[in-house]
């Protein structure tokens, strides 16, 4: 009997130029999400939260990291329906970012928070095509 396993991997081009505004990375706290914010504003808020999550995971600050994941989930709940109307692939990519943020804390994997931080700007940039 022959078994066939397949997998997929995501490669990030380290030489690709990315720009992220310095003022995006501000400390966030778990609070209600303003439903009146645009998709771009919500995603920028999520980017700042994932940056805080990544920093907390690097410092082994699990309490702060958990609060940041809670905030990511709140923002995700507000922004996902807006993305759902645009593209199935974009939704899949967005869901992966959220899953990486969650697994960084649940499975104590700081690299997953870093991956989420790297992938989310790609999603934000992709929104410009819609």
Who wins on pLDDT, 12 or 42? 42
d(CA 79, CA 19): 22
Burial class for 29, CB neighbours closer than 10 Å (0-12, 13-18, 19+)? exposed
Q: List the chain domain ranges.
A: 62-130
pLDDT one-digit tens code per residue, 100-127: 999 999 999 999 999 999 999 999 999 8
pTM, two decimals, is 0.74
Task: Using DSSP, state whether 46 is helix, strand or coil.
Answer: helix
Q: Judge contact between 57 and 113, C-beta under 8 A.
A: yes
* 31 confidence band (pLDDT: 50, 70, 90): low
């Amino acid at each position: 009997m022959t078994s066939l396993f397949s997998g997929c991997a995501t490669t990030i081009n380290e030489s690709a130029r990315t720009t992220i505004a310095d003022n995006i990375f501000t400390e966030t706290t778990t609070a209600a999400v303003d439903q009146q914010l645009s998709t771009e504003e919500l995603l920028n808020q999520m980017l700042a939260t994932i940056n805080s999550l990544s920093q907390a995971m690097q410092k082994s600050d699990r309490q702060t990291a958990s609060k940041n994941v809670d905030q990511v989930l709140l923002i995700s709940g507000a922004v996902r329906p807006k993305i759902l109307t645009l593209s199935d692939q974009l939704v899949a990519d967005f869901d992966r970012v959220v899953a990486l943020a969650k697994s960084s804390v649940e499975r104590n994997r700081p690299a997953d928070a870093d991956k989420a931080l790297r992938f989310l700007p790609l999603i934000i940039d992709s929104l410009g095509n819609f």
